[in-house]
Structure 1
Amino acid sequence: MKLSSFVVLAVAACAGALSTAQAQEAAGKAQAAAFDKRMFAGPLGAKSLACFVRRYDANHLAQHPKQKVSAMKLLVEAKTVPQDKTINYSFRVGIQYRDRPGNFDSGGYCNHALPTKAGRVTAYECGVDCEGGGLTVALSNDNKSATARIGRIMVSDRSKPDAEPAEMQTDGSDDKVFRVDRAEASECAELVTDRNSPPSATSDRLQVMGLK
């Protein structure tokens, strides 16, 4: 009798734990979907893009003499894969240096960051293949700008596609956190890697908001 009662209690405890885990997973998915809606200014389509741009003026660069980056473009992309019922997230970032000519870029794949203590998903964690570093992308409260936090990241000279990537030039904390403003998707056209594929009104939804 005692053994039977113990088994019943163990089964109930396992069922309760499973139910809690399922509830947490459902809440996590809901929070991730809410963050996606903020990032892409609406429900995801087959393909959704969000573009953010910042060109630093002379006054800003004078106040931050150690900052190497003079301009940045950030493209975040989500592709829905119906057959797998999954969503693939990716990013591309383009930069220009204040003291070096040329256009440099990098890219990789993203996942939702772990929820905060308040249970909110507030960022994407993005990485570059082959230990190429990465960045974290968060949104402002009004969804009109994004913050890119860079630890280290490998970038390539766009004019030299066969050259080996090199680590992004930085000189201290001034090149670690960048606020970039939401812009029209056309501003990031140079970063769209499949821009030569035929456009589709349903599969290539360019979702932008808060235009400046």
Structure 2
Amino acid sequence: MRRHFLMRVVLVEAALILMAGMASPARAAGSAPDEAFQRQVFGRVIGKDRIHACYRRAYDAPHLGSHPQQNVRTMTLLVTGSAEEGADPGYTLGLGVTFRKAGTHFETFGGCGAIGSSAAPAAKANVAHCSVDCDGGAIDVRLKGEKSVLVAIPDGARIWKAGSDSEDSDERKRFGADDKLFRLDRTALTDCLSLVGDEDEKAMLRRGQ
């Protein structure tokens, strides 16, 4: 179930933090690109507690009418940041999607590396490169102004019905030819509650954390 998959995401995040810390033991809050990314996404640098940001977009009928090969009707993105002392920060994402031909909610989760870290020197300073577990595809989150991000899914990503077992489902075929790049706008953290299974973390979102 989702709980098992989220546990794997947490383990991936922990591994990313540990690996990054081994690569640059002197770092605490992250590199300058990391801190710039955090300030724009979360409003401040990551501290000892997790921090979240939520972005969303619902495409209206005129937009979908002018983009017949776009199947995505709504998209919600939850970005979570965390850090441990002496290590680069780690990021995870949760993505919720609905499509124009079905009201079913689908979701996916992934882990992201540090921004422009020594472990990934070629990484751009304003982009988080993320991957879905079990070769589920790549998702990039790029900063776009003060209140928006661009979500790139160039080759689709493994998704599954919300709340179902991720290991038994792969619905990436639902992405259309024009479902490659999405601009999402910042919204209330409570709009991302459906992407969180842990009650303590839901409480953090309700408190605006």
Q: CA RMSD in A?
A: 3.0
1:63-115: CA deviation from partner (whole Å, max 9, x where unpaired):
11111100000000012234x64522100000001002310000010113548
Q: Tell me what 1:33 maps to.
A: 35
Alpha-carbon offset, residue 167 of structure 1? 3.9
Match of 2:193 among 189, 196, 205: 189
User: For 1:112, what is the secondary structure of its paired residue?
Assistant: coil
Alpha-carbon offset, residue 198 of structure 1? 8.2
Alpha-carbon offset, residue 171 of structure 1? 2.2
1:124 lines up with 2:124 in the alignment: no
| Cα distance in 2 for residues equivalent to 1:193 and 1:124 | 23
**8 Å Cα contact 1:52-1:145 kept in structure 2:** yes
Consecutive unaligned residues of structure 1, counting only runs of 5 or more, are 1-21, 208-212
Rate the CA distance shift 1:98–1:138 in 2: closer, same or farther, 3 A. same
User: For 1:39, what is the secondary structure of its paired residue?
Assistant: helix
| Cα distance in 1 for residues equivalent to 2:35 and 2:93 | 18
TM value normalised by structure 2: 0.73
| Cα distance in 2 for residues equivalent to 1:70 and 1:200 | 28
Rate the CA distance shift 1:129–1:51 in 2: closer, same or farther, 3 A. same
User: For 1:166, what is the secondary structure of its paired residue?
Assistant: coil
Alpha-carbon offset, residue 206 of structure 1? 3.3
Alpha-carbon offset, residue 31 of structure 1? 1.7
Alpha-carbon offset, residue 179 of structure 1? 0.6
1:5-35: CA deviation from partner (whole Å, max 9, x where unpaired):
xxxxxxxxxxxxxxxxx9xx9xx81122111
1:171 lines up with 2:173 in the alignment: no
1:153 lines up with 2:157 in the alignment: yes
Give percent identity, aligned residues only: 30
User: For 2:96, what is the secondary structure of its paired residue?
Assistant: strand
| Cα distance in 2 for residues equivalent to 1:159 and 1:120 | 33
Structure number with higher strand proportion: 1
TM value normalised by structure 1: 0.73
